[in-house]
């Protein structure tokens, strides 16, 4: 089975035309290298794997080597050689430089900080995740939900093989990837924290509660959380604040960005086990949230909640319109008072209630119930 990713390739092609440096970010094994090779082969690109010793040797004098190249140059795992950011700035500012650069990386804060400070005005960022429903097709929605979007997990021969791949991914991430970032945290300690987070998936962060369970202080909890966020494992969905008289929640909500990794840490092996798990609703909400964000790609996204009980799962601004999204794992979701409060208080252009059913229907002038498989309608509002 081959999954085509035309939207991702188009995004890369557009960015390469617009900016001298394109920065492609995403977790390890999500398909960055594959896409770079597909696009690069069309452009007859020069490719460097910066975790490869021979390629590191080729770049012992990077200004000389890269400055002599023409066309597209791909630098994979740029975080392995961070000094190249300064070299790229020098090269792209030279009128005689004939190359455009596509750089790939798996550590968001480290790369964004270097690229933003060193390559300000010279780079465009693209964030890549695993497969989404648009790419796999709606017939594969349960499979994508259970296994997650990492290509080798989704495309595995069966659920057992998929689970084995995810377990190996987690072990490698903890024992190799994190230490390579210069972070000295015992793999067992991070695994316990990551597993604990799985039970808080979809909830507002309570660092003190998690810390008490693990015997760690709030500062350590937030440090661990930032590591998992910066490596694209966790999404911290920040609260939106309106200038309202109501007291509003200020802590972020925590979501696993890949539902397959969530299920692995919760020991969920198949759909039967998932359907009987008490975290079923939270799992589907996180899965649906990521699908909507991958398609709509808002600049910023938030949730909204007040201490009086009103809340909204997802809020973003797109094309100057205020969009709200609620996720309900229910065959016939009801329109609640909380939704109407959010519609009014946030001045929403439209509120979408996304559910796992089959039919779309409007329940109010600005409220529509929508199947997840039809969520592309959200960007057409």
The mean pLDDT of 233-252, rounded to a whole number, is 81
The mean pLDDT of 224-240, rounded to a whole number, is 93
State the pLDDT at residue 306: 84
Same CATH topology for 6-127 and 133-380?
no
Name the percent of the chain lying above pLDDT 70: 96
Q: 6-127: what CATH class?
A: alpha beta
State the pLDDT at residue 256: 98
State the pLDDT at residue 356: 93
Direct distance between the N- and C-terminal alpha carbons of the chain, in angstroms, rounded to an integer: 34
If you average pLDDT over every residue of the chain, what do you get? 91
State the pLDDT at residue 249: 72
Is the pLDDT assigned to residue 379 strictly greater than 70?
A: no
Is the pLDDT assigned to residue 299 strictly greater than 60?
A: yes
State the pLDDT at residue 243: 62
The mean pLDDT of 136-141, rounded to a whole number, is 91
pLDDT category of residue 121 using cuts at 50, 70 and 90? confident
pLDDT category of residue 117 using cuts at 50, 70 and 90? confident
Domain parsing of the chain, residue ranges: 6-127, 133-380
pLDDT category of residue 106 using cuts at 50, 70 and 90? confident
pLDDT category of residue 381 using cuts at 50, 70 and 90? low
User: Lowest-pLDDT range, 63-77, 112-126, 258-272?
Assistant: 112-126
The mean pLDDT of 335-358, rounded to a whole number, is 93
State the pLDDT at residue 244: 59
Please give the Cα distance from 294 to 273 (Å, whole number): 27
Annotate the chain with three-state secondary structure: CCCCCHHHHHHHHHHHHHCCEEEEECCCCCCHHHHHHHHHHHHCCEEEECCCHHHHHHCCCHHHHHHCCEEEEEEECHHHCCCHHHHHHHHHCCCCCEEEEEEEECCHHHHHHHHHHHCCCCEEEEECCCCCHHHHCHHHHHHHHHHCCCHHHHCCCCHHHHHHHHHHHHHHHHHHHHHHCCCCCCHHHHHHHHHHHHCCCCEECCHHHHHHHHCCCHHHHHHHHHHHHHCCCEEEEEECCCCCCCCECCCCEEEECCHHHHHHHCCCCCHHHHHCCCCHHHHHHHHHHHHHHHHHCCCCCEEEEECCCCEEEEEEEECCEEEEEEECCCCCCCCCHHHHHHHHHCCCCEEEEEECCCCCEEEECCEEEEEHHHHHHHHHC
User: Lowest-pLDDT range, 11-15, 96-100, 176-180, 260-264?
Assistant: 176-180
352/111: higher pLDDT:
352
User: Lowest-pLDDT range, 135-149, 271-285, 305-319?
Assistant: 305-319
378/284: higher pLDDT:
284
The mean pLDDT of 258-279, rounded to a whole number, is 96
State the pLDDT at residue 380: 60
State the pLDDT at residue 79: 85
State the pLDDT at residue 250: 81
244/56: higher pLDDT:
56
Is the pLDDT assigned to residue 177 strictly greater than 90?
A: no
pLDDT category of residue 370 using cuts at 50, 70 and 90? very high
User: Lowest-pLDDT range, 1-5, 57-61, 234-238?
Assistant: 1-5
State the pLDDT at residue 246: 62
Overall fold of domain 133-380? Arc Repressor Mutant, subunit A (1.10.10)
State the pLDDT at residue 364: 87
pTM beyond 0.85, yes or no: yes
């Amino acid at each position: 089975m081959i999954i085509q990713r035309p939207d991702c390739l188009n995004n890369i092609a557009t960015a390469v035309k617009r900016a001298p440096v394109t920065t492609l970010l995403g977790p390890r094994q999500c398909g960055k290298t594959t896409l770079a090779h597909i696009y690069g082969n069309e452009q007859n690109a020069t490719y460097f794997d910066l975790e490869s010793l021979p390629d590191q040797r080729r770049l012992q004098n990077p200004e000389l080597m890269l400055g002599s190249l023409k066309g597209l140059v791909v630098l994979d795992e740029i975080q392995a050689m961070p000094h190249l950011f300064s070299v790229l700035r020098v090269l792209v500012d030279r009128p005689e430089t004939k190359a455009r650069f596509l750089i790939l990386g798996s550590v968001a804060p480290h790369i964004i900080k270097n690229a933003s400070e060193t390559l300000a005005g010279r780079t465009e960022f693209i964030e890549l995740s695993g497969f989404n429903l648009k790419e796999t097709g709606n017939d594969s929605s349960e499979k994508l939900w259970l296994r997650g979007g990492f290509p080798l997990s989704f495309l595995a021969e069966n659920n057992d093989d998929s689970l084995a791949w995810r377990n190996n991914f987690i072990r490698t991430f903890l024992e190799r990837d994190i230490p390579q970032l210069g972070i000295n945290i015992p793999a067992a300690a991070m695994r316990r924290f990551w597993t604990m987070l799985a039970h808080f998936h979809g909830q507002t962060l309570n660092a003190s509660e998690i810390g008490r369970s693990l015997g760690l202080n709030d500062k350590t909890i937030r440090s661990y959380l930032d590591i998992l966020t910066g490596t694209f494992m966790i999404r911290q969905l920040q609260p939106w604040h309106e200038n309202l008289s109501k007291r509003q929640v200020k802590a972020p909500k925590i979501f696993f960005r890949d539902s397959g990794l969530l299920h692995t840490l919760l020991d969920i092996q198949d759909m039967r086990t998932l359907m009987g798990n008490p975290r079923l609703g939270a799992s589907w909400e996180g899965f649906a949230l990521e699908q909507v964000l991958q398609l709509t790609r808002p600049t910023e996204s938030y949730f909204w909640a007040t201490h009086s009980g009103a809340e909204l799962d997802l809020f973003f601004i797109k094309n100057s319109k205020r969009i709200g999204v609620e996720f309900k794992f229910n065959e016939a979701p009801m329109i609640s008072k909380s939704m109407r409060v959010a519609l009014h208080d946030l001045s929403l252009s439209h509120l979408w209630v996304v559910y796992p059913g089959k039919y779309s229907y409007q329940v109010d002038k600005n409220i529509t119930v929508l199947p997840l498989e039809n969520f592309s309608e959200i960007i057409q509002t």
